[in-house]
Structure 1
């Protein structure tokens, strides 16, 4: 930091996801008064993240919701002892109709610096458990032809 500029680590930029790119951004102090600046950790070190899983309309929705919430609890529970009391530990499930199925969205608080790591672990475990569930299928764009006589 100087009188005329500040230096901050770039997030994203040359890479996908919100991870540090390794580059330093030099920001003139005048920008601070002209532009909106997002600070994920101004209040605390935790942010809300989400993982989306689209399942087919034929799938067992209730079971999928339970599996997905349990995955988040299993992965996040070792971290909960370090959470401030005001931060919710309960994963929140939201549902949305999509073209190929139901989007099951799970939202949860996560340490900001571990967002991508934890999201990847949750996604991997959701995939494994849904694959083994038997009555839940992950939806994907495809065409089904039905011939009627």
Structure 2
């Protein structure tokens, strides 16, 4: 062993003390990696919940990183007078050179502790909007929605967002309050139409097509009240009536899951088209121009 150590010193110029530190670091890393893999295999065996598997994997990885740093750092700082000296020098250097990464790291601590969002949530931050795929030390990853797609559906692009952005931009979470959002479908009929009949049809469409989509809504509402005091006196589908310059606006308002907004809207609109087609006294309104000739009246 001493011969190998002497050979490394002569060929590579690495001192004996540094050889020990390198070997010790590699051994520590391998041991913790093996323990991590074994623990993950034991815990995740038989689990089908993707989110639970992700959370366990991330948590065990973070513990592994922490233990590795806890064991390795003292190996490499024996030349310094104290661990406090090391931390002082490290902090001073990093504060100047790595402002953004430090901000991102502390933002990661904020994310995993305060949980403004979790894996699988749909959020909007700045100009980015999508579903959370991963949360790491310096950035979180989203599957983008919208952009050139005219609905809350995926574009197929992956967006990597620095964690520190949560300190300077508001985070809009679609799932956190009650896992449902309000959606509205505006339907405009002409002034000559039987708007009362049209409104009745819309209410029937909501009862038939939209209300069954939120069967567990009440339990989700209770969760929202417990954490954020989200309180609604009425969360049944409804239709509001408004007069516009081109006709009577009937607006369907209903709750839906954030990831089914487009499909629920399509189901409702197709049913509305079929029902309105059966009634001659209901016509859709659209911008028109009418000319009045006083000489012919």
TM-score by length of 2: 0.47
Aligned to 1:64: 198
Instruction: Check the 8 A contact 2:190/2:246 in 1, yes or no.
Output: yes
Q: Which runs of 5+ in 1 are unaligned?
A: none
Q: SS at 2:173's partner residue?
A: coil
The alignment's C-alpha RMSD in Å is 1.8
Q: Deviations over 1:32-83 (max 9, x none)?
A: 1101121111122211111110000111111111101111111024334332
Instruction: Check the 8 A contact 1:80/1:89 in 2, yes or no.
Output: no
Structure 1: how far apart are the matches of 2:213 and 2:147?
29
TM superposition shift of 1:145: 3.3
Are 1:78 and 2:224 an aligned pair?
A: no
Structure 1 residues 18-27 or 46-55, which shifts more? 18-27
Q: How many residues align?
A: 149
TM superposition shift of 1:146: 4.3
Pairs within 5 Å for 1:90-129: 90-129=236-275
TM superposition shift of 1:89: 5.3
TM-score by length of 1: 0.90
> Whose Rg is larger?
2
Are 1:15 and 2:149 an aligned pair?
A: yes
Q: Which runs of 5+ in 2 are unaligned?
A: 1-134, 222-231
Structure 1 residues 59-68 or 11-20, which shifts more? 11-20
Q: Deviations over 1:19-40 (max 9, x none)?
A: 1222111110111110112111
More strand by share: 1
- Ranges of 4+ aligned residues in structure 1 off by more than 4 Å: none
Which has the higher relative contact order, 1 or 2, with Cα contacts under 8 A spaced 6 or more apart?
Answer: 1
Structure 2: how far apart are the matches of 1:39 and 1:81?
21
More helix by share: 2
Q: SS at 1:65's partner residue?
A: helix
